[in-house]
């Protein structure tokens, strides 16, 4: 039984990483336009190193993804706990709006936010992108955290309350540790959503702040360049490195 | 009961955000859906309900049904694949869990367009999967995978899988393993442990995962278009076309409102049954 | 961290607004080197922003009144639509020393008869491609050949309703810009019989699909065919007998541009023969700049795929705005795709 489980999990990981492997392979492919193998080259890395626009856009994307997912996680987690624990006027309304946000097509969200920002004359750029991405991510955090809160053992909270604990202390010392896995899951989902969003971002960003997914999607005219494969490979390798390093450091600490 | 300062802060924060950036825009969409399209401007202020009546055309019904089927099957496949996987992760050694979870999500930090092109390289007739199967002698002629419904499902499931795995993991991790051991000691078999303990206790996670896969799947169009050959219209591309190609914002807004309304009804129905079952 | 502070400053609008040119274009549709050289020579900083379709660009420009771009690159009929709606500023041709380099054949087109608002940047056509190895030389010569029974499941169409219905209209001898509902319906009826041949609709990257031999014949853009030839010499580009669809991407200056002087300087820079040559070579589409064509390698300038002869273009048509008739196109496109 144990080995079957390991094999299954391993297989899923292989499938998840298979396309990434392919793209890494093609970042060394001499073919400019297609997925046929035309020999090994480092040309795309060389070209990438001189393409400041792409590198800048990638950094912008990471910036936005990090900030928006952190803030969305804070708002979403507090929101989910509030919706679960307290009774207040407008609770139903908030719950419905969360579902509406998930279901409303991205283009509708993008255009309506654009109209909103234009109406208040807000310049398009970092801040508008940040707001839009937080709005996109908050419902995903709420739904993930709320699912963990369901069937939550209330007696622990009641006991702590009887002992005179403040609401914030309760949240920080008891609730948060119990829902931590879902908070992390919510953060990871948000980061992923933000890093890959094209349609909403298109409408709410301005000339001062180009982000990577937009740049990639607007290459359709001439085809997505192989430099993108090289860039994705570098970003992927860096991510893996950071993750493994932090795992190693955490182990050392223990 | 008077709410504490912390509680009021949490509520106010969410309230503020939702009203400003979700409710207000949604109201604008509703208003837009009740006006007409202009020749040189997106909206002219002539009230009409024709945007809604136009939606009740067999063509749009067909688009809607096709999209529901696509999203439904995708959700089901995601659930079947993700559930055992999330269960294994939730029972893995504690020190490894965070790492294993992060490893699930990392592939998705690469642009979805780039990943979709990589999928095409794998799936095409002269692609890597066919090459591998042919060289292993498992098939005699290459499988035709690209531009079929199967390719669409592969792409959709691949893209949305983490949105199922993560909520499932969060719910499954909370189940006390001693509960299952106890059941096992009492003679409960694999199936009855699964259906009577694991599934009921992780139901909230299952529902959350299904929602996070199903709802975005309804609006997705890039992946089905690229992998399936854009031979069918689905809601996502339909609404996008209304806003961009045909510049009929009121009609697009009406379609979006109707979609939102129907999904909300679905959620409400579920909540109602839940409460009835709970009472 | 530095980029964070920069970002915050930019967002607050504290950056130097003078001597900055905001260009709104397709991504990688202008070589980085051209931008750098222009910045070096003129001292004007270029800020480059991108879009992925004319429709999306139009929606954004029209809605975001406050945003200002100095140069935008719309295709064919979007020029006409945008100028009619007052979204474009007039271009002062007296400031363009290199204007005379442009090919008169690509000036004064119906979407901007006097070129008051637009200067051609790159141009191309939507015709047919076929795999000569699989089908034999000269397999197709007219749009109507796509209907041959033997191409069942082997055909690519672009994912653009105006192009696909326009192609069917041309094959019936009508104009691809018709607003006559009967003609559009006839085109639809004819297209329904083409569906069994269609393997996919794709406008993103037809060349990749042809190179991987998933399809052997279908619609294609000339630049895509030209680029595919470096890896697949047997892919032939055909100017169909009934007429090819031609498009031009033009440089325009939107109303409300903050830096009109710099915009003119930039357009004039792009019109220099050697710059236009670099752009055309890097991007793979044809330049409307005659002086630049003379500088090209003879085999490129003589390549009919990129630079068609006058004969190739005899019945060619530019895509024009069809106004309200677009809803008729839309209805039949939806019917075609849902199979009703």
Helix extents (H) in C229-318? 260-270, 273-283, 290-295, 298-301
Q: Mutation test of the interface with chain B: which of A8, A10, A16, choosing the one with the most B Cβ atoms within 10 A?
A: A16
pLDDT of residue C66: 57
Angle, nearest 10°, between helix axes B249-278 and B199-219?
170
Residues of C in contact with B247 (CB under 8 A): 55, 58-59
Give the closest-approach CA distance of C199 to chain B in angstroms. Answer: 7
Q: Name the residue in chain B with its Cα closest to that of A96.
A: B264
Indicate if C140 and C205 belong to the same structural domain: yes
Confidence class of residue A83 from pLDDT cuts 50, 70 and 90? very high
pLDDT of residue B215: 87
| Distance separating alpha carbons of residues B235 and C295, to the nearest angstrom | 49
Report the share of chain B in percent with pLDDT over 90: 63
Domain ranges of chain B: 25-54+248-279, 66-235
In SS3 terms, chain A reads as CHHHHHHHHHHHHHHHHHHHHHHHHHCCECCCCCCCCCCECCHHHHHHHCCHHHHHHHHHHHHHHHHHHHHHHHHHHHHHHHHHHCCCCCHHHHHHHHHHHHHCCHHHHHHHHHHHHHHCCCCCCHHHHHHHHHHHHHHHHHHHHHHHHCCCCHHHHHHHHHCCCCHHHHHHHHHHHHHHHHHHHHHHHHHHHHHHCCHHHHHHCCCCCCCHHHHHHCCCCCCCCHHHHHHHHHHHHHHHHHHHHHHHHHHHHC
Cβ atoms B119, A19 nearer than 8 A: yes
Question: B229 and C338: CB-CB below 8 Å?
Answer: no
**Residue A152, pLDDT score:** 75
Interface list for chain B against chain C, based on CB atoms closer than 8 Å:
39-40, 42, 58-59, 62-63, 66, 120, 124-127, 146-147, 225-226, 228-233, 238, 241, 243-248
Q: Between chains, do B219 and A105 touch, taking CB under 8 Å as contact? A: yes
User: Do A144 and B252 count as a contact with CB atoms less than 8 A apart?
Assistant: no
CB proximity A223 to C under 8 Å: yes
CA triple B16-B20-B22, angle to 5 deg:
110
CB distance B244–C53 less than 8 Å?
yes
Interface of A with C in 126-185 (CB under 8 A): 126-127
Q: What is the pLDDT of residue B20?
A: 95
> How many CA atoms does the CB half-sphere of B39 hold within 13 Å?
8
Whether chain C has a CB inside 8 Å of the CB on A222: the answer is yes
Are residues C15 and A224, on separate chains, in Cβ contact within 8 Å?
Answer: no
Over residues A169-181, the mean pLDDT reads: 90
- CA-based nearest distance A206→chain C, Å: 7
User: Are residues C260 and C277 both part of a single domain?
Assistant: yes
Tokens 């041309």, residue located: C170
Give the pairing of strands C118-131 and C245-254.
antiparallel
Q: Does residue C307 sit within a domain? A: no
Residues of chain A with Cβ-Cβ distance to B92 below 8 Å are 9
Residues C85 and C204 in one domain: no
Instruction: Tell me: do C157 and C273 sit in the same domain.
Output: no
What CA–CA distance (Å, rounded) separates C238 from C143? 10
* Residue that has been written with the tokens 């804070």 in this structure: A74
Q: Cβ of A16 and B161 within 8 Å?
A: yes
Q: Which domains are seen in chain A, by residue range?
A: 1-41+226-254 (no CATH), 62-218 (1.10.3720.10)
Please check whether residue A112 touches C, CB under 8 A.
no
Please state the domain count of chain C. 2
Question: Interior CA angle at A63 toward A57 and A67, to 5°?
Answer: 150
C324 & C217 share domain? yes
ipTM: 0.90
Q: Which residue of B has its CA nearest to A131?
A: B21
- Say what the pLDDT of residue B188 is: 87
3-state DSSP assignment of residue C153: coil
Q: Are residues C207 and C292 in the same domain?
A: no
Specify whether the CB–CB gap between C124 and C221 falls below 8 A.
yes
Summarised one tens digit per residue, pLDDT across range C289-339 is 999 999 999 989 999 999 999 999 999 999 998 988 999 999 999 999 988
Domain housing C204: 124-245+313-338
Let me know whether C174 and C193 are in one domain.
yes
| C200/B42 CB distance under 8 A | no
Q: Report the Cα–Cα distance between both ends of chain B, in Å, rounded.
A: 24
Residues C197, C98 share a domain? no
Say which of A147, A196, A216 has its CB closest to residue B170: A147
- For residue range B140-179, what is the model confidence (pLDDT) as tens digits? 999 999 999 999 999 999 999 999 999 999 999 988 889 8
Closest in C7, C26, C47 to A126, CB measured: C7
Dihedral angle over CA of A99, A103, A109, A112, nearest 10: -70
Q: What is the mean pLDDT of residues A168-177?
A: 89
Q: Where are the beta strands (DSSP E) in chain C?
A: 20-26, 45-51, 71-72, 88-89, 118-131, 155-157, 198-201, 217-221, 235-238, 245-254, 317-318
How far apart (Å, rounded) are the C-alpha atoms in residues A148 and B204?
Answer: 7
Tell me the CA distances in angstroms from C237 to B168, B240, C129, C147, C275, one per residue in order.
Answer: 52, 32, 5, 17, 27
pLDDT at C17: 45
Q: What is the pLDDT of residue A1?
A: 65
CA distance B144 to chain C (A): 9
User: C220 burial class (0-12, 13-18, 19+ CB within 10 angstroms)?
Assistant: buried
pLDDT in the model for residue A2 = 77
Cα distance from C309 to chain B (closest Cα, Å)? 32
Best residue in A19, A86, A153 to probe B by mutation, most B CBs within 10 Å? A19
Does the residue C308 lie in any domain?
A: no
pLDDT attached to residue A104: 85
Report if residue C86 sits inside a domain. Answer: yes
pLDDT given at position A253: 65
Determine contact, residues A181/B169, Cβ cutoff 8 Å: yes
Q: Which residues of A touch C62 (CB under 8 A)?
A: none
Do the chains contact at B25 and A109, CB–CB below 8 Å? Answer: yes
Q: Distance between the two ends of chain C, CA-based, in angstroms?
A: 56
Q: Closest Cα of chain B to C225: distance in Å? A: 19
Residues C128 and C109 in one domain: no
Nearest by CB to B233, from C199, C200, C334: name it.
C334
CB–CB of C26 and A206 under 8 A?
A: no
Nearest by CB: C201 against B59, B63, B231? B231
Q: Which of B99, B110, B162 is closest, CB to CB, to A243?
A: B99
- Residues C59 and C144 both lie in one domain: no
CATH number at residue C57: 3.40.190.10
Write out pLDDT tens, residues A93-150.
Answer: 999 899 889 888 888 999 999 989 988 888 889 999 999 999 999 999 999 999 999 8
Q: How far is it, in rounded angstroms, from Cα B211 to Cα B98? A: 24
| CA gap C333, B255 in Å, rounded | 18
Q: Can you give chain B as a three-state secondary structure string?
A: CCCCHHHHHHHHHHHHHHHHHHHHHHHHHHHHHCCECCCCCCCECCCCCHHHHCCCCHHHHHHHHHHHHHHHHHHHHHHHHHHHHHHHHHCCCHHHHHHHHHHHHHHHHCCHHHHHHHHHHHHCCCCHHHHHHHHCCCCCCCCCCCCCHHHHHHHHHHHHHHHHHHHHHHHHCCCCHHHHHHHHHCCCCHHHHHHHHHHHHHHHHHHHHHHHHHHHHHHCCHHHHHHHCCCCCCHHHHHHHHHCCCCCHHHHHHHHHHHHHHHHHHHHHHHHHHHHHHC
Q: Which residues of chain C have pLDDT under 70?
A: 1-18, 65-66, 340
Residues of chain C with Cβ-Cβ distance to A34 below 8 Å are: 207-208, 211-212, 228, 231
The whole-angstrom distance between A129's CA and the closest CA on chain B is: 12
Please enumerate in sequence order all residues whose Cβ is within 8 A of that of B63, keeping only pairs 6 or more positions apart, or say none.
B233, B234, B235, B238, C334, C338
Write the residue in A38, A53, A114 that is nearest to C32 by C-beta: A53
Q: Would residue C306 count as lying in a domain?
A: no
- Give the span between the Cα atoms of B92 and B236, in whole angstroms: 38
Q: Are residues C17 and C112 in the same domain?
A: yes
User: Which structure tokens are listed for B117?
Assistant: 């092109």
- Chains in touch with C (3+ beta-carbon pairs under 8 Å) read A, B
Same domain as C158, residue C221: yes
Q: What is the pLDDT of residue C183?
A: 97
Residue of chain C minimizing CA distance to A130: C11
Residue B179: partners with Cβ closer than 8 Å, 6 or more residues away: B197, B201
By Cβ distance, the residue of B89, B106, B208 closest to A239 is B106
Give the Cα separation of C250 and C267 in Å (integer): 10
The pair of structure tokens assigned to B119 is 């999928």
User: Does residue C62 belong to any structural domain of this protein?
Assistant: yes
Residue C70 lies in a domain: yes
User: Domain spanning B66-235: which superfamily?
Assistant: MetI-like (1.10.3720.10)
State mean pLDDT over A21-42. 89
Say yes or no to pLDDT of B89 above 80. Answer: yes
Considering only the beta carbons, identify the residue of B10, B107, B256 that sits closest to A105: B256
Question: Which of the residues A18, A35, A87, A103 would you substitute to probe the B interface, choosing the one with the greatest number of B C-beta atoms within 10 Å?
Answer: A103
What DSSP letter does each residue of C197-254 carry, written as one string? GEEEE-SS-HHHHHHTTS-SEEEEEHHHHHHHTTT-TTEEEE--TT--EEEEEEEEEE
* Beta-carbon separation of B231 and C200 below 8 A: yes
C214 → closest Cβ in B63, B146, B232: B146
Interface test with B, best of A104, A115, A191 (most B CBs within 10 A): A104
């Amino acid at each position: 039984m144990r080995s079957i489980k390991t094999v299954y999990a391993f297989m899923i990981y292989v499938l998840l990483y298979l396309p990434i492997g392919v793209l890494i392979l093609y970042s060394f492919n001499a073919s400019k336009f297609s997925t046929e193998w035309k020999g090994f080259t480092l040309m795309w890395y060389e070209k990438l190193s001189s393409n400041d626009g792409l590198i800048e856009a990638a950094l912008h994307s990471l910036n936005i993804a990090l900030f928006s997912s952190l803030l969305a996680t804070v708002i979403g987690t507090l929101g989910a706990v509030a919706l679960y624990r307290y009774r207040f006027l407008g609770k139903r309304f908030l719950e419905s709006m969360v579902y509406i946000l998930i279901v409303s097509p991205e283009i509708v969200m993008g255009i309506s936010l654009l109209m909103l920002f234009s109406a208040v004359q807000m310049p398009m750029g970092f801040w508008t992108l940040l707001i839009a991405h937080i709005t996109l991510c908050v419902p995903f955090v709420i739904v993930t955290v709320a699912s963990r809160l369901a069937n939550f053992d209330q007696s622990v909270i009641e006991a702590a309350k009887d002992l005179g604990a403040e609401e914030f202390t309760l949240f920080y010392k008891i609730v948060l540790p119990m829902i931590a896995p879902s908070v992390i899951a919510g953060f990871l989902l948000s980061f992923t959503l933000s890093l890959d969003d094209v349609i909403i971002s298109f409408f709410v960003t301005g000339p001062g702040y180009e982000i990577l997914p937009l740049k990639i999607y607007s290459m359709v005219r001439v085809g997505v360049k192989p430099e993108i494969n090289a860039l994705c490979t570098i970003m992927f390798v860096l991510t893996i490195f950071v993750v493994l390093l932090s795992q190693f450091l955490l182990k050392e600490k223990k | 009961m008077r709410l504490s300062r912390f509680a009021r802060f949490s509520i106010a924060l969410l309230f503020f955000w939702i009203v400003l950036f979700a409710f207000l825009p949604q109201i604008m969409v509703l208003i837009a859906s009740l006006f007409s399209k202009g020749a040189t401007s997106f909206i002219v202020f002539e009230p009409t309900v024709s945007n809604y009546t136009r939606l009740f055309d067999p063509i749009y019904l067909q688009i809607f049904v096709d999209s529901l089927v696509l999203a439904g099957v995708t959700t089901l496949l995601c659930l079947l694949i993700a559930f055992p996987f999330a269960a294994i992760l939730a029972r893995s050694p504690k020190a490894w869990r965070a790492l294993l979870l992060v490893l699930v999500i990392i592939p998705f930090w690469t642009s979805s367009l780039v990943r979709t092109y990589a999928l095409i390289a794998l799936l095409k007739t002269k692609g890597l999967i066919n090459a591998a199967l042919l060289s292993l002698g498992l098939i005699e002629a290459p499988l035709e995978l690209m531009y079929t419904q199967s390719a669409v499902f592969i792409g959709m499931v691949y893209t949305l899988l983490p949105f199922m795995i993560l909520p499932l993991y969060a719910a499954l991790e909370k189940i006390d393993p001693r509960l299952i051991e106890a059941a096992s000691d009492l003679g409960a078999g694999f199936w009855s442990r699964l259906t009577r303990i694991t599934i009921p206790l992780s139901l909230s996670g299952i529902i959350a995962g299904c929602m996070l896969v199903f709802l975005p799947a309804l609006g997705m169009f890039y992946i089905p278009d690229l992998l399936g050959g854009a031979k069918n219209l689905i809601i996502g591309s339909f609404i996008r076309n209304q806003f961009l190609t045909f510049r009929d914002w009121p009609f697009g807004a009406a379609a979006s409102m109707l979609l939102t309304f129907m999904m909300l009804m679905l959620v409400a129905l579920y909540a109602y049954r839940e409460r009835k079952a709970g009472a | 961290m530095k980029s964070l502070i920069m970002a915050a400053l930019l967002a607050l609008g504290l950056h130097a607004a003078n001597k900055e040119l905001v260009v709104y274009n397709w991504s990688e549709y202008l070589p980085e080197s051209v931008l750098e050289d222009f910045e070096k020579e003129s001292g004007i900083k270029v800020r480059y922003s991108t879009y992925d379709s004319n429709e999306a660009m139009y929606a954004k420009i029209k809605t975001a009144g406050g945003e200002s771009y100095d140069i935008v690159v719309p295709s064919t009929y979007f020029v006409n639509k945008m100028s009619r709606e007052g979204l474009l500023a007039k271009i002062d041709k007296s400031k363009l020393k290199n204007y005379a380099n442009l090919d008169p054949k690509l000036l004064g087109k119906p979407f901007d008869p006097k070129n008051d608002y637009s200067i051609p940047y790159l141009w191309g056509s939507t015709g047919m491609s076929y795999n000569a190895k699989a089908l034999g030389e000269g397999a197709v010569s007219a749009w109507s050949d796509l209907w041959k029974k033997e191409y069942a499941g082997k055909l690519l169409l672009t994912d653009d309703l105006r192009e696909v219905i326009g192609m069917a209209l041309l094959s019936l001898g009508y104009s691809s810009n018709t607003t006559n509902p009967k003609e559009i319906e006839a085109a639809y009826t004819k297209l329904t019989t083409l569906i069994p041949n269609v393997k996919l609709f794709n406008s993103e990257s037809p060349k990749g699909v042809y190179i991987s031999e998933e399809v052997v014949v279908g619609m294609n853009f000339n630049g895509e065919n030209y680029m595919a030839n470096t890896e697949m010499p047997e892919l032939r580009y055909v100017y169909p007998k009934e007429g090819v669809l031609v498009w031009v991407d033009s440089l325009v200056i939107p109303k409300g541009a903050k830096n009109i002087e710099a915009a003119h300087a930039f357009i004039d820079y792009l019109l220099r023969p050697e710059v236009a040559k670099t752009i055309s070579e890097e991007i793979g589409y044809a330049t409307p700049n005659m002086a630049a064509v003379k500088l090209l390698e003879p085999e490129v300038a003589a390549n009919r795929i990129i630079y068609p002869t006058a004969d190739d273009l005899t019945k060619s048509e530019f895509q024009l705005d069809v106004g309200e008739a677009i809803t008729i196109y839309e209805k039949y496109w939806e019917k075609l795709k849902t199979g009703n």
